[in-house]
Amino acid sequence: MLDICTAHLDALVSMDTRNPPRAIQPDHDVIRYTTDTLKSTGFDVSLDNLGDGSICIDAVRGESDVLVNCHLDTVPDASGWNASPFTLSKHGDALIGLGACDVKGSAACILTAASMTDTPARILLTTDEEAGKSRCVRHWVREHAGEVSCVIVCEPTGLKGVTAHRGLLSAQATFQGRSAHSSDAAAASSSATHALVHWAHGVLSCASICENNRFNIGRIEGGTKPNMIAADASVRFGMRPAPDADPDELLERIKSHASRSCEVEWSINFSAPALRAHPQAPEWLERFTIEPAPPVDFWTEAALFAELGVPTIVFGAGDISQAHAPNERIAIAQLEQGIHAYANIFSSDHE
Q: Per-residue pLDDT averaged across 19-24, rounded?
A: 94
> What is the Rg, in whole angstroms, of the alpha carbon atoms belonging to the chain?
23
List, in order, residues 6 or more apart from 258 with CB less than 8 Å away.
173, 175, 195, 199, 264
Tell me which residues are annotated as active site.
Answer: 129
Q: What is the pLDDT of residue 296?
A: 94
Q: pLDDT, tens digit, for every residue of 315-324?
A: 999 999 999 9
Task: Please give the single-letter amino acid code of residue 145.
Answer: A
Q: What is the pLDDT of residue 349?
A: 55
Q: What is the pLDDT of residue 350?
A: 53
Average pLDDT score over the chain: 95
Q: Are 178 and 234 in contact (CB under 8 A)?
A: no
Has residue 264 got a pLDDT over 70? yes
Q: What is the pLDDT of residue 348?
A: 84
What share of the chain has pLDDT > 90, as a percent? 88
Has residue 308 got a pLDDT over 60? yes
How many residues would you count in the chain? 351
Q: What is the pLDDT of residue 262?
A: 84
List, in order, residues 6 or more apart from 40 with CB less than 8 Å away.
115
DSSP 228: B
What domains can you pick out in the chain, each with its CATH number?
Answer: 2-165+275-348 (3.40.630.10), 168-270 (3.30.70.360)
What are the C-alpha distances in Å from 78 to residues 82, 143, 238, 241?
A: 11, 35, 21, 27
DSSP 171: E
pLDDT band at 246 (very low <50, low <70, confident <90, very high): confident
Report which of 162, 158, 111 is spatially closest to residue 342, judged by C-alpha positions: 111
Report which of 79, 97, 72, 77 is spatially closest to residue 87, judged by C-alpha positions: 97
What are the C-alpha distances in Å from 8 to residues 1, 108, 131?
A: 11, 5, 23
Q: What's the rounded Cα separation, in Å, for the pair 272 and 169?
A: 6
Q: Per-residue pLDDT averaged across 242-258, rounded?
A: 91
Q: What's the rounded Cα separation, in Å, for the pair 187 and 266?
A: 24
Q: pLDDT, tens digit, for every residue of 69-105?
A: 999 999 999 999 999 999 999 999 999 999 999 999 9
Q: pLDDT, tens digit, for every residue of 139-178?
A: 999 999 999 999 999 999 999 999 999 999 999 999 999 9
Q: Within 13 A of 261's CA, how many CA atoms are on the CB side?
A: 9
Q: Are 319 and 101 in contact (CB under 8 A)?
A: yes
Task: To the nearest 10°, report the CA torsion of 112, 117, 121, 125.
Answer: 10
